[in-house]
Structure 1
Amino acid sequence: MRQFTEYARVMIYRFETDGSGIVVAEDKQPELEPFLGLHYPASDIPKQARQLYYKNWVRIIVNVNDAPVPIYPLNNPITHKNLDLSYATLRSVSPIHIEYLQNMGVSASLCTSLINDQKLWGLIVCHHYSPKFVPYELRQACELLGQFMSVELFRQYQKNWEAYQKKVKKIQQLFRQELSGHESDLINRIRTMIDSSGQYLLELVNAQGVVIGLQGELTEFGETLPKPDLHDLLSWLRSYYPEEIFYTDRLAEIYPPAQNYINKAAGLLAISIYLDQATYQIVWFRSEIIQTVTWGGNPNKPVVIDDNDQVRLSPRKSFEAWKETVSGHALGWNELEINAAIELRNTLMLAVLHFSHFAL
């Protein structure tokens, strides 16, 4: 990309689940400071900007210091509404983004979107330190490259999804084998299954511990919590998060007692079934991961107070590496793991209905 565009720096910027971003690849002129591995807060590319990147494969700023030119009239004389410039190549960009680039010393930029599964996965970001015009044909080549890379991202996603589907089917088969029959003692059958196949349940979502709660009876495998803590946690889940599926990688922030066992349950993924006033739950736990995150500047200062004492979004002025030790968090649950849990919930639902039928 840098060879045929001749920008000074080209990066691949990947969006995280919380909207923040990380530079995962970089090619640059030797004298430039590296940005590889730096994290950037979600406020650096707000939601509205990400929507525009999703709609447009390529966005270009030829000269950061150019003055924007107004459009007359402001409203479309036919519709009497503002002109929609979402797809206009010459559409000006946010003054905040311009100031942001100026603070970085960037004079020109070009961004190519990377789309995976109809979502904005990331950007190929090109920076130059003097004004730079890229002709239409070259912009089309950038768009084509972005599309090829997006196809490859989706192909890899499908490959990972197929591997997860195999895991899910294996677990489903084990469930059906262990839970088949006409007996109504579902709890004992679940215990037998956990004893023989608990490791598969952990591997399914990359967890360290799992507990199955059936009408107050608990069956555990791996690293879990003392029984009193488990009962309190499951009761809290039923009261405050009764959804069919719930997950968090920061349990202690919403459930303070979890701070006492954060080394075992910093993250939680739960599936629940509510049937005839009975509750069935499977809850997975992830332990705390303490890591040092290197940000491109202090991520905690996205706003300023202006002369009128109003709070406004402001681009950060310092881009020196700013390190933060992140604790109390677990590894985030990804989409494949969440979908695998949902599939397992559907299988458990069938088993519950089966045993409910024979219990009548």
Structure 2
Amino acid sequence: CGSTLRAPHGCHAQYMANMGSIASLVMAVVVNEKELDGDSEGQMQQKGRRLWGLVVCHHTSPRYVPFPLRYACEFLMQVFGIQLNKEVELAAQMREKKILRTQTLLCDMLLRDAPLGIVTQKPNIMDLVSCDGAALYYGENFWLLGVTPTEVQIQDIVAWLSEHHMDSTGLSTDSLVYAGYPGAGALGDAVCGIAAVRINSKDFLFWFRSHTAKEIKWGGAKHDLEDRDDGRKMHPRSSFNAFLEVVKMRSLP
């Protein structure tokens, strides 16, 4: 629908009433998606669009926004979206170049028959992935960097991976607890997420991430049973008091 004026959804209207707001103006900030691969017949690549955010304006009294001003606001959001998209793409390119440089250096170390260089020299495997610690288990020997489990615990993780993930090339999870590792509780708060890459049937590379206690503030209790009326229709929480939810036993994804 190309209309710039629409009636608010009933849920949004109730939110406005709860805030004491009478008028509302909402503008979308849209950026480009990543390029989508074409099909087997050589179809041209297409770029999708995705909603990045919203600019929402409220007023406590009725306000009429004339079309020229609405059009100017829409144009401003388009310009902002274009500039934002450039910044996002530039940041992604810089991250990709840094990773590629690190990959090249690490591969050179491996090609020179110096596999231990990826943990003993700079850059090392911790520079390849954002993590709190890393480890190389190679030839039944251990090389540990940063925050890691003990050698005995890593050996136990290797045994668990060999038993339960023997058909895969590795494992990536933000929670060893939810991944089913029985020894996750013994790791404490230091290690929660893991990325493991199998070098061969016995040797592994590991990256570890610590717990992150996510504190999420909701406008009203997220799990309040009163969030739905008797007709099971969604309606907003009547209170805008912050409700704090703490998510534990997970690392950053």
Partners of 2:172 and 2:185 in 1: how far apart?
Answer: 19
The aligned residue for residue 315 of structure 1 is 236
The aligned residue for residue 190 of structure 1 is 115
The aligned residue for residue 110 of structure 1 is 25
> How far 1:273 moved relative to its partner?
5.9
What 5-or-longer segments of structure 2 have no aligned partner?
Answer: 34-49
The aligned residue for residue 76 of structure 2 is 145
Partners of 1:327 and 1:236 in 2: how far apart?
Answer: 24
The aligned residue for residue 19 of structure 1 is none
Partners of 1:135 and 1:294 in 2: how far apart?
Answer: 36
Residue 225 (structure 2) pairs with residue 225 (structure 1): no
Deviations 1:14-69 (A, max 9, x none): xxxxxxxxxxxxxxxxxxxxxxxxxxxxxxxxxxxxxxxxxxxxxxxxxxxxxxxx
The aligned residue for residue 207 of structure 2 is 284
Partners of 2:155 and 2:234 in 1: how far apart?
Answer: 44
TM-score (norm 2): 0.73
Cα gap change, 1:307/1:224 in structure 2, threshold over 3 Å: closer, same or farther?
same
Equivalent pairs: percent with the same residue? 26
Cα gap change, 1:122/1:224 in structure 2, threshold over 3 Å: closer, same or farther?
same
Deviations 1:99-136 (A, max 9, x none): 23222222221222223342322111111222322222
Partners of 1:241 and 1:259 in 2: how far apart?
Answer: 25
Deviations 1:315-342 (A, max 9, x none): 1111023334454343x34xxxxxxxxx
The answer on whether the counterparts of 2:18 and 2:238 sit within 8 Å (CA) in structure 1 is yes
Cα gap change, 1:210/1:264 in structure 2, threshold over 3 Å: closer, same or farther?
same
> How far 1:271 moved relative to its partner?
5.9
Residue 92 (structure 2) pairs with residue 161 (structure 1): yes
Per mean C-alpha deviation after superposition, the further-off stretch among 166-175 and 296-305 is 296-305
The 5 A counterparts of 1:261-340 are 261-268=187-194, 270=195, 272=197, 278=201, 282-290=205-213, 292-301=215-224, 304=227, 306-307=229-230, 311-330=232-251, 332-333=252-253
The alignment's C-alpha RMSD in Å is 3.5
What 5-or-longer segments of structure 1 have no aligned partner?
Answer: 1-85, 184-188, 334-360
The aligned residue for residue 96 of structure 1 is 11
The 5 A counterparts of 1:203-282 are 203-212=127-136, 219-234=143-158, 235-236=160-161, 239=165, 242=168, 246-248=172-174, 250-255=175-180, 257-268=183-194, 270=195, 272=197, 278=201, 282=205
The 5 A counterparts of 1:65-144 are 86-118=1-33, 119-144=50-75
The answer on whether the counterparts of 2:228 and 2:234 sit within 8 Å (CA) in structure 1 is no
Partners of 1:293 and 1:328 in 2: how far apart?
Answer: 15
> How far 1:212 moved relative to its partner?
3.9
Partners of 1:193 and 1:223 in 2: how far apart?
Answer: 17
Deviations 1:223-256 (A, max 9, x none): 11123433444534963994877342x4434446
Partners of 2:205 and 2:241 in 1: how far apart?
Answer: 44
The answer on whether the counterparts of 1:303 and 1:313 sit within 8 Å (CA) in structure 2 is no
Partners of 2:139 and 2:222 in 1: how far apart?
Answer: 45
Letter in 2 for 1:99: Q
TM-score (norm 1): 0.54
Question: Which secondary structure does the structure 2 equivalent of 1:205 belong to?
Answer: coil
